[in-house]
């Protein structure tokens, strides 16, 4: 498969995820903006807002190419090179605080047509950790991973734990998931075509996973207090994305399309000085579970 084929497949994944999310939501539809990148390529930003389930979500596709931007060259310690990057990235912020925030990203990167790799992942940020949902989520990811390599799930789960970590809070962003980067046959013993198929399988698993989590929780009643907690957790999401997220940093430093990059931020967020949930509350339980190294499969 070549880069054009990869981009085409990712595009169809964006299409099928958008159609399915519209059905799942049952209220709102996606609005699309096509954009072009000065220097080469472009993308399709798709935003869904004020739906029955989804308060705001973005499902973006891009395929960009050109000369590597200066800050990236430094990070990779390479000289002038032609790059190509394509991917699909998703963030969904639901209305109901019992429905989790979800994030997915699958991407392919090529440098000078000889260095290349796949990256991506799916991670879940429940406002309220519910062990049954967490276990379902990780089992579904493990099932996809296991079809390609027995080390994928444990490796990528551990990577997600390290990556989705808010160091200054000593909290994970949510219950993690899988995260992988710079995946090559040399590193994994898995053929290029299978690594590619793995990334597509992950993309295709997004809807069944999220649909199940939405349907389990979409009709749960919630109070103003639950909403307040949701806004605080969204505040943490903002902190992670602006302080640590590599994709966001990359986008901001390389003059990416700002509205597409920051669509990951929630519709609204709150910060309460030194908030501490009452002992024994659902909020305290959630906080106690936001740590690295939890084996979610066992719940």
Q: Tell me the DSSP string of 146-213.
A: HTT-TTHHHHHHHHHHHHSEEGGGTEESSS-EEEEEEE-HHHHS--HHHHHHHHHHHHHHHHHHHHHH
Binding pattern to its own copies, positions 35-54, x when CB under 8 A?
------------x-x-----
Site size toward its own copies (CB under 8 A) is 31
Query: Which entry of 103, 127, 159, 226 is annotated as an active-site residue?
Result: 103
Binding status of residue 34 toward its own copies by CB under 8 A: no
Binding status of residue 215 toward its own copies by CB under 8 A: no
Q: Which burial class, exposed, middle or buried, applies to 196 when counting CB atoms under 10 A from its CB (0-12, 13-18, 19+)?
A: buried
Binding status of residue 247 toward its own copies by CB under 8 A: no
Binding pattern to its own copies, positions 57-96, x when CB under 8 A?
-x--------------------------------------
Half-sphere exposure of 10 (CA within 13 A, CB side): 31
Q: How far is the CB of 257 from its own copies (least distance, A)?
A: 10
How long a stretch of residues is the chain? 299
Q: How far is the CB of 190 from its own copies (least distance, A)?
A: 37
Q: CB under 8 Å to 243, separation ≥6 — which residues?
A: 166, 168
Q: CB under 8 Å to 16, separation ≥6 — which residues?
A: 204, 207
Binding pattern to its own copies, positions 277-296, x when CB under 8 A?
--------------------
Binding pattern to its own copies, positions 168-187, x when CB under 8 A?
xx------------------
Q: Which is nearer to its own copies, 35 or 117 (CB)?
A: 35
Q: SS3 of 21, please?
A: helix
Q: SS3 of 252, please?
A: helix
Q: What is the DSSP letter of 52?
A: S
Among the listed residues 252, 277, 282, 297, the single contact to its own copies using CB under 8 A: 252
Annotated active-site residue 103? The verdict is: yes
Among the listed residues 22, 181, 239, 282, the single contact to its own copies using CB under 8 A: 239
Catalytic residues: 103
């Amino acid at each position: 498969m070549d880069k054009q084929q990869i981009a085409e497949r990712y595009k169809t994944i964006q299409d099928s995820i958008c159609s399915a999310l519209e059905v799942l939501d049952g209220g709102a539809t996606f609005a699309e903006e096509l954009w072009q990148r000065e220097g080469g390529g472009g993308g399709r930003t798709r935003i869904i807002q004020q739906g029955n389930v989804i308060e705001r979500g973005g499902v973006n596709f891009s395929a960009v190419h050109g000369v590597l931007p200066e800050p990236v060259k430094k990070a990779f310690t390479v000289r002038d090179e032609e790059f190509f990057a394509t991917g699909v990235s998703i963030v969904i912020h639901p209305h109901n605080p019992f429905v989790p925030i979800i994030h997915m990203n699958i991407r392919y990167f090529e440098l000078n047509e000889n260095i290349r790799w796949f990256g991506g992942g799916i991670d879940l940020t429940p406002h309220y950790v519910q062990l049954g949902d967490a276990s379902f989520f990780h089992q579904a990811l493990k099932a996809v991973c296991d079809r390609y390599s027995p080390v994928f799930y444990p490796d990528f789960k551990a990577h997600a734990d390290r990556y989705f970590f808010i160091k200054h809070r000593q909290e994970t962003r949510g219950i993690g998931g899988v995260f992988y980067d710079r995946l090559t046959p040399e590193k994994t013993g898995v053929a290029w075509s299978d690594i590619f198929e793995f990334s597509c399988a992950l993309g295709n698993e997004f809807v069944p996973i999220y649909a199940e989590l939405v349907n389990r929780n979409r009709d749960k009643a919630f109070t103003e207090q639950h909403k307040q907690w949701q806004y605080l957790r969204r505040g943490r999401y903002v902190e992670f994305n602006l302080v640590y997220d590599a994709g966001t940093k990359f986008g901001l430093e390389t003059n990416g399309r700002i509205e597409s990059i920051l669509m990951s931020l929630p519709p609204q967020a709150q910060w309460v000085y030194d908030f501490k949930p009452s002992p024994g509350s659902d909020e305290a339980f959630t906080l106690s579970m936001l740590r690295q190294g939890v084996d979610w499969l066992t719940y």
